[in-house]
Structure 1
């Protein structure tokens, strides 16, 4: 399936999208399962940071992001309860694209939207946890590894042994 830019757009996620987001997450990230409740909570806590990519009437991708503080990334498949206040960075929880939507600039569009959200909240840094599979992608987007403590490294290992906490300044 070829995704045309003309009919493919990033839009705010709604609760009606959550089952589709969970299904795409299970397909794209089978080694990193998360419950629908995780996506629903992030949507409730930071609706301006939760987007979906739609095209030709189907879900092609999603972005889950929110304000955050510090370098202790949320463990995989864990509810937050609340966002930390005050926040000091914008955390990209997940960016996923269906295989047919990759390589067309949609990920860069999503990162730009995360930057817009960070700016709207007065935050100058994007941060994320990268799994071993995505490290090269994030490096190409200008993200670099943060120095992490033993506690932070233990949380990163809940993703995989080579997971890294990465950040970059908002452009």
Structure 2
């Protein structure tokens, strides 16, 4: 009896209620539809991820190209700045030399003006000396002439004296 009852209970526990089976199949169908929709959504998202990855790779490539261009531009500009610094230093040196030359020229101009003034005064002094020399020469010449005249007169007097002494001896 007990065995029969166990078999009966086991059979009864294995019998499915139609409502619960219908409910099970509907849930299974909904789960499959949901799974199908999730697979579609997953495929769509995978496609979007692929597109985004491609866009990201393109953007990364553009960024790297821009970065390379920027680095090249920066390198070129740094070289240009270095070159211009050298040119500025050279031009500053040249400008300083020109300034020094200009200042030296100003000093020479002042010195030349002072020398010209001094030369002018010296020339005036020389002219005064030359006039005095000319006057002294004139005085000398007139005194030489006077001396010659006196010497000539002395000679005449000596001759006259000799002549007179020679007459008195006769």
Query: After TM superposition, is the score higher than 0.5?
Result: no
Q: Which protein shows a greater Rg?
A: 2
TM-score (norm 1): 0.13
TM-score (norm 2): 0.13
Structure with more helix by fraction? 2
Structure with more strand by fraction? 1
